[in-house]
Structure 1
Amino acid sequence: MVVAEAAAETSPAEGRYALLMAAHDSEYVLKMYGGYLPVFVSAFGAAGETWDVFRAVDGELPSADELGRYAAFVISGSPHDAHADDAWILRLCALVRDLHARRARVLGVCFGHQVICRALGGRVGRARGGWDVGVRDVAIAHAAGSSRLLDGQLLPLRARITEVHQDEVWEVPEGAEVLASSDKTGVEMFCVGDSVLGIQGHPEYTRDILLSLVDRLLAAGTITISFAEAVKRQVEATAPDREFWLKLCKSFLKADGA
């Protein structure tokens, strides 16, 4: 477990967060940011907080005795399939169910969004429309639950977000509320009560991280040259509403009563 800590001290569970990493650090992110932990802390963290990272992809998860130490949990994206039956994915699903039973606050990003859905009884699988890479315009539902995500403030009708995924949520868990959708993906965001939030896109990604991923997908033969060039042209012309998504995630993670 690696810890990122700000200067001020905080009491257990107050200002302490757990990042459950479902991917290994890429060479680019290690070189430019020091790993994904600093990326997430920069995006969602604040002065005086402590962030611990657990390498879920390597089988490292907090023990039952450690769960009460954290105000909230974040599950990262991953190149792996949330619908696969790898041992570490099944263990992560079990942890999600445990956290949900405890009413712990959990935010899932991309793979994290999908694995939360699966763990709580929803259905996930390959995106019917194929890969979604770039900046996507998302329609946000003004439902009763969505207004709670920004301390009661109304959310915008639409917001752009960075996307890199080939899987998607097919069906949300019973009792879940779909909060956003797009022309590419039916469930871009959902919540379960006040304590679980899933976002298909990547609020934490910067433009250069996205472009680095496009180059990696192209080098691996996952996407074509024409696809990669189209994404790069779009990214040049269109920016995500990153500040909105970061504000939303921070508001959710740091809400009272987590």
Structure 2
Amino acid sequence: MGIECESKRRYALLLAARDSEYVKKVYGGYFNVFVAAFGDDEEQEEKWDMYRVVDGEFPDMNELENYDGFVVSGSPYDAYGDDNWILELCHLLQTLYSMQKKVLGICFGHQVLCRALGGKVGKSDSGWDIGLRKVNIVKDFSPCSFLETFIETPPALIIIECHQDEVWEVPTGAQVIAFSDKTGVEMFTIGDHILGIQGHPEYPKDILNNLIDRLLNQDSIETELANVARSKLETADPDNKCWQEICKAFLKGYWNPYLSIEQ
């Protein structure tokens, strides 16, 4: 039993947001949302841990070597903020980078990963991006191992977005591999161990709908923007299956060769 446990792949979710009442009620918390999206529970070959970094809960630095990969979640906080936990998170990400550990950043995670490694992030001049967005894959980028087995890299994919901050400048050595008409850096990589995605490949549409409700109640967004976002959600779907396979391939070093994308 001990040998089997030792052979399991081990991943950590660095949760930078607190669970909403809706997500707790429907999914049992964001941890379950992420594991459902990026985990392979049916194989019983991996273990996921969670650290609520937003509340100052971080992994022991002596335990970092035991993990195969890390995922940094989205957050309502600014990635360029100087809250103690954000600064500590930046230090952790710098350490993981120096260890060549795989780190996947989602939304805020994408931005704070960029900041920690020397890039620049800030508020978008064009305001909020909420709803479905077509993300264009850069042509002729240097191949990433987690995308190499695509018979043909899709020219564009739809993803759920919910952000008003963005990456202004990627770190030295980083490569932008996706952009949109709203955001210049939708996805970036550094080698095969750093991947940032501005959108939310883990979100089902109902989570975004609830988030739109909460932002409206807080007067954070205008009704017109909310209505446009909801209208798109009713008539189209994000390419979540493909996005999640990309994330799994990155974290775990494999790809589903039978995955096909209908454009």
TM-score, structure 2 as length reference: 0.91
**Which position in structure 2 is the counterpart of 1:70?**
67
**Which position in structure 2 is the counterpart of 1:105?**
102
SS of 1:148 mapped into structure 2? coil
CA distance in 1 between partners of 2:161 and 2:83 (Å): 24
> Which aligned runs of 4 or more in structure 1 are off by greater than 3 angstroms?
142-147
Q: 1:9 to 1:39 in 2, by over 3 A?
A: farther
SS of 1:215 mapped into structure 2? helix
1:40 Cα offset (Å): 0.3
CA distance in 1 between partners of 2:156 and 2:219 (Å): 33
Question: Is this contact kept in 2: 1:147–1:155, CA < 8 A?
Answer: no
The answer to whether structure 1 residue 42 and structure 2 residue 36 are counterparts is yes
**Which position in structure 1 is the counterpart of 2:185?**
187
Question: Is this contact kept in 2: 1:22–1:57, CA < 8 A?
Answer: yes
Correspondence 1:112-131 to 2 at 5 A: 112-131=109-128
**Which position in structure 2 is the counterpart of 1:3?**
none
Alignment counterpart, residue 205 of structure 2, candidates 204, 207, 229: 207
1:157-209: per-residue Cα shift (whole Å, max 9, x none)? 00000000010000000000001000000000000111000000000000100
1:45-69: per-residue Cα shift (whole Å, max 9, x none)? 0021211000000111111111011
Alignment counterpart, residue 217 of structure 1, candidates 215, 218, 224: 215
SS of 2:237 mapped into structure 1? coil
1:152 Cα offset (Å): 3.2
1:151 Cα offset (Å): 4.4
**Which position in structure 1 is the counterpart of 2:261?**
none
Alignment counterpart, residue 61 of structure 1, candidates 58, 62, 70: 58
1:113-161: per-residue Cα shift (whole Å, max 9, x none)? 0000000000000012100000000100134444422343242100000
SS of 1:150 mapped into structure 2? coil
SS of 2:6 mapped into structure 1? coil
CA distance in 1 between partners of 2:182 and 2:112 (Å): 19
Q: Name the stretch that deviates more: 154-163 or 18-27.
A: 154-163
CA distance in 2 between partners of 1:235 and 1:131 (Å): 16
The one-letter amino acid paired with 1:18 is A
TM-score, structure 1 as length reference: 0.93
Alignment counterpart, residue 30 of structure 1, candidates 17, 24, 31: 24
Correspondence 1:153-168 to 2 at 5 A: 153=150, 154-168=152-166
Q: What are the ranges of 5 or more consecutive residues in structure 1 without an aligned counterpart?
A: 1-7
CA distance in 2 between partners of 1:145 and 1:63 (Å): 35
CA distance in 2 between partners of 1:129 and 1:146 (Å): 31
Identity of aligned residues (%): 54
- Measured on the aligned residues, the alpha-carbon RMSD in Å equals 1.4
CA distance in 2 between partners of 1:251 and 1:41 (Å): 14
SS of 2:243 mapped into structure 1? helix
